[in-house]
Amino acid sequence: MTPIKNCILNKDTTKNPIWLMRQAGRYLPEFREIRKSNQDFIKLCLNENLSSEITLQPIKRFGFDAAIIFSDILMLPYAINQEVKFEKGFGPKLGDLNIDKIKQTNEVNFTNKLNPVYKAISLTSKNHLLQNRDLIGFVGAPWTILVYMLNKMSPKKGLPKKFFNDTLLINNLLDIIETFLKLHIKNQITAGANVIQIFDSWAGLLENKIPDYIYKPTLNIVEYVKKLGVPVICFPRGIKDYKKFCEIVKPDAINIDYEVDPIKIIKEIKIPVQGGLDPKVLLTSKENLRKEVEKYLTTFKDHPYIFNLGHGILPETKIDLVKELIDIVRNFK
Ligand code: CP3
C-alpha cells in the first residue's frame, strides 16, 4: 500500500510519510522556469503535459511520498463560469458573480472544461515515479470557494462586513458549489487520484455560522468521498476547535495549522494527523529546523502522523532546508 494510504488506513506509526502543501510551486527554480514562459496561470493549469511535469518536479528533486496534482482550488469557480485571473503580486482576481451564468453550468460542460486537469492526473498516475507513491487530488471546501466567489479576491486584501449578511445567496451558492465539488472529486478519482484533500483556508474567518457554513457542507463532501472508497484529509485552517470539527465532519485524517499546539491535538484527536510545522521555519537555519521538526515528530511518535506544513511552502524557501527536512523526518528514531 502507498505511504499516505498506509498511514491513514492501517494507522501505521512506524514511518512518517512526508509531502508538503504547495510543493509544486515558486520555491523551485524549475517551476519558475516554466512559469516564465507561461504567464497565464489558468492556462498553465489546463496544460496537461506541463501540469503533470510540474506535479512531478518535487518528486524528482526530493522523493516526497506523495505528489499533489498541480492545479488550483479556483479552477472550480472558473469551470462554473466565473472569470478567474491571477495577477502578479496581487493573487487571484475573480469576475463579477452572475448567478444566471453559473446556473448554465451542467455536468457535461463542467467536465469538458476541466478535462485537461483529469488528463494531467491520468498521465501522472501512470508515471513510474508514482509506483509506490500517492497521487493527491484536491478541492477547496465549499466555504473557502464561496469566500473567493463573493469577495472576488483574497480576504487578505480586505473583506467587507456586509459579506455575511445575504444568507439566501450564501445558501444558494453553497448548494451549487457542493454539487460541482462532488463532480470534480469524482472525476479526479476516476482519473487516478487515490487520496483527496479538502482545503478550507478561510475556515478561521467564521465564528457563529460554523455549523451551517463549514461542518454541514464539508460533512456532505467527506461522506461523498468516503463512499467512493478514497481516504479524505481535511484542512480547516485557523478553526479554533479541531476536536469538534473531527467529531462532526469525521475525515480520515486532519491537517493542522501552525497556530495550534500539537500537544493539545495529540490529547484530543484520535484520527491520523498531518502537518503543523510553520512554513517560516524553512526560512531559518538547519539547527532551528531540526528543533521544530523534532517537536512534531516527538509529539506524534506513537500516532499515525504524515509530516507536512501548517500552510503552503513559501516562495522564499531554500532548497537545502527542504532536503534537510526530509533527512530529519526519514532518520528520526
Ligand atoms: O500544493 C501544490 O503544490 C499543488 C497545487 C496547488 C496550488 N494551489 C498551486 C498554486 C494547491 C493545492 C493550491 C491550493 C490553493 N489555491 C489554496 C488552498 C491552500 C492555501 O494556500 O490556503 C488557495 C487558497 C488557493 C488560491 C490561490 N492560488 C491563491 C490565493 C494564489 C496566489 C497567492 C499564492 O500564494 O501564490 C494562488 C496561486 C497559486 N496556486 C500558485 C501555485 C503554485 C502560485 C502561482 C504563481 O504565481 O506562480
pLDDT digits (tens, 9 = 90+) for 283-324: 999 999 999 999 999 999 999 999 999 999 999 999 999 999
The arithmetic mean of pLDDT across residues 96-123, rounded, is 97
Residue 127, SS3 per DSSP: coil
The finding on whether 137 has its CB within 6 A of some atom of ligand 1 is: no
Angstrom distance (rounded) from CA 120 to CA 49: 6
- 244, 248, 254, 258 alpha-carbon torsion, rounded to 10°: -30
- 90: burial class by Cβ within 10 Å (0-12, 13-18, 19+)? exposed
The finding on whether 242 has its CB within 6 A of some atom of ligand 1 is: no
Q: What residue owns the CA closest to ligand 1's atom 24?
A: 201
Query: Kind and range of the H or E element at 254?
Result: strand 253-255
163 band by pLDDT with thresholds 50, 70 and 90: confident
Structural domains of the chain ordered from first start: 3-331 (3.20.20.210)
The finding on whether 85 has its CB within 6 A of some atom of ligand 1 is: no
The finding on whether 72 has its CB within 6 A of some atom of ligand 1 is: yes
Å from CA of 307 to ligand 1 middle: 19
Angstrom distance (rounded) from CA 291 to CA 289: 5
Residue pair 133/125 in contact (Cβ under 8 Å)? The answer is no
* Cell numbers given for 224: 461523498
The finding on whether 93 has its CB within 6 A of some atom of ligand 1 is: no
Q: List, in sequence order, the alpha helices (H) in 1-47.
A: 3-9, 29-36, 41-45
Q: What residue owns the CA closest to ligand 1's atom 35?
A: 91
Strands 232-235 vs 91-94: parallel, antiparallel or unpaired: unpaired
Å from CA of 14 to ligand 1 middle: 31
The arithmetic mean of pLDDT across residues 156-177, rounded, is 91
Q: Specify the pLDDT at position 165.
A: 87
Residue type, 203: A
Q: Which tens digits make up the pLDDT trace of 80-96?
A: 999 999 999 999 999 99
Q: Specify the pLDDT at position 253.
A: 98
Q: Specify the pLDDT at position 323.
A: 98
The arithmetic mean of pLDDT across residues 147-159, rounded, is 95
The finding on whether 204 has its CB within 6 A of some atom of ligand 1 is: no
Strands 84-87 vs 91-94: parallel, antiparallel or unpaired: antiparallel
Q: Which tens digits make up the pLDDT trace of 18-73?
A: 999 999 999 999 999 999 999 999 999 999 999 999 999 999 999 999 999 999 99
Q: Which tens digits make up the pLDDT trace of 215-274?
A: 999 999 999 999 999 999 999 999 999 999 999 999 999 999 999 999 999 999 999 999
Q: What is the pTM of this model?
A: 0.97
Strands 273-274 vs 253-255: parallel, antiparallel or unpaired: parallel
Cross-strand pairs, 309: 277
Mean pLDDT of the chain: 97
Å from CA of 156 to ligand 1 middle: 14
Q: Specify the pLDDT at position 161.
A: 79
Q: What is the DSSP annotation of 214-236?
A: IIHHHHHHHHHHHHTT--EEEE-
The finding on whether 193 has its CB within 6 A of some atom of ligand 1 is: no
**Structure letter (DSSP) for residue 312:** P
CA 76, 77, 79, 84 torsion-angle sign: negative
Query: Kind and range of the H or E element at 67?
Result: strand 66-68
Angstrom distance (rounded) from CA 76 to CA 279: 26
Number of residues that make up the chain:
333
Angstrom distance (rounded) from CA 153 to CA 148: 6
Q: Specify the pLDDT at position 164.
A: 83
The arithmetic mean of pLDDT across residues 115-134, rounded, is 98
